[in-house]
Amino acid sequence: MSLGPRLIIALDFPAAAPALALAARLDPRHCRLKVGKELFTAAGPALLERLQARGFEVFLDLKFHDIPNTCAAACRAAAELGVWMLNVHASGGSRMLDAARAAVDAASRRPLLIAVTVLTSQERADLAEIGLDVEPAQQVARLAALAAAHGIDGVVCSAREASALRVAHGAGFRLVTPGIRPAGADTFDQRRVVTPADALAAGSDYLVIGRPVTAAADPLAALTALAASLPAEPV
């Protein structure tokens, strides 16, 4: 089964107007769009409807992490918005993951449910501050195994962990990779970053890209160049 567009453009904007202006300059044949906490808080479900009306599938990146009933209710509400993908924190534990999965399984149009492992802004020192004296890759592996055991469709991870996760969990387990930067681009606040080609070679399915496209003088040209640089999807 085709994965569809493998590039996900992060709409990291404070309001609907610039997000919609950028969407008008992109092509849904080449990408999906990610709406995160800041933009969704500012613009709400109406923005999702307008993006979907332009033909875009939307990854609602709200990283739910709460008691099981509350997380399930949030996932249910997100699924009713018709989003293509949504996510929760794997560190919410097995009961929360089970509740979230049951909520999306009951949706009339089931979105992909992805679990966040370790944020790509975090290094070992960051994990140590919260009592986890492990390398990020170790914690990613633990949380990915937990997610897989509870029927989650895949995880958000760095491409540096993607190869091991692909071996451990097989082709059907979706790997969503932020921290993607074309060669030579500024890494900004990301720490564990890789190029698009390297991420796909490592086993990533979907690549989240922000400023290399959103801050480009010609966003469509930047998107088209990125899409053209990717290897063909295996048949």
The answer to whether 138 is a known ligand-binding residue is no
The answer to whether 190 is a known ligand-binding residue is yes
The answer to whether 65 is a known ligand-binding residue is yes
The answer to whether 70 is a known ligand-binding residue is yes
The answer to whether 198 is a known ligand-binding residue is no
Backbone φ, ψ for residue 28 (5° rounding) = -65, -10
The answer to whether 63 is a known ligand-binding residue is yes
What CA–CA distance (Å, rounded) separates 175 from 198? 14
What CA–CA distance (Å, rounded) separates 214 from 212? 6
Tokens, residue 101: 């999965």
Backbone φ, ψ for residue 145 (5° rounding) = -65, -40
The answer to whether 64 is a known ligand-binding residue is yes
Tokens, residue 147: 């997610």
What is the tally of helices (H) and strands (E) in the chain? Answer: 11, 8
The answer to whether 181 is a known ligand-binding residue is yes
Q: Which are the contacts of 229, defined by CB distance < 8 A and separation ≥ 6?
A: 182, 196, 197
The answer to whether 67 is a known ligand-binding residue is yes
Q: Are 136 and 158 in contact (CB under 8 A)?
A: yes
Residues annotated as catalytic are 61, 63, 66
**Residues in binding site:** 12, 34, 61-70, 120, 181, 190, 210-211
> Binding site residues for substrate, as ranges?
12, 34, 61-70, 120, 181, 190, 210-211
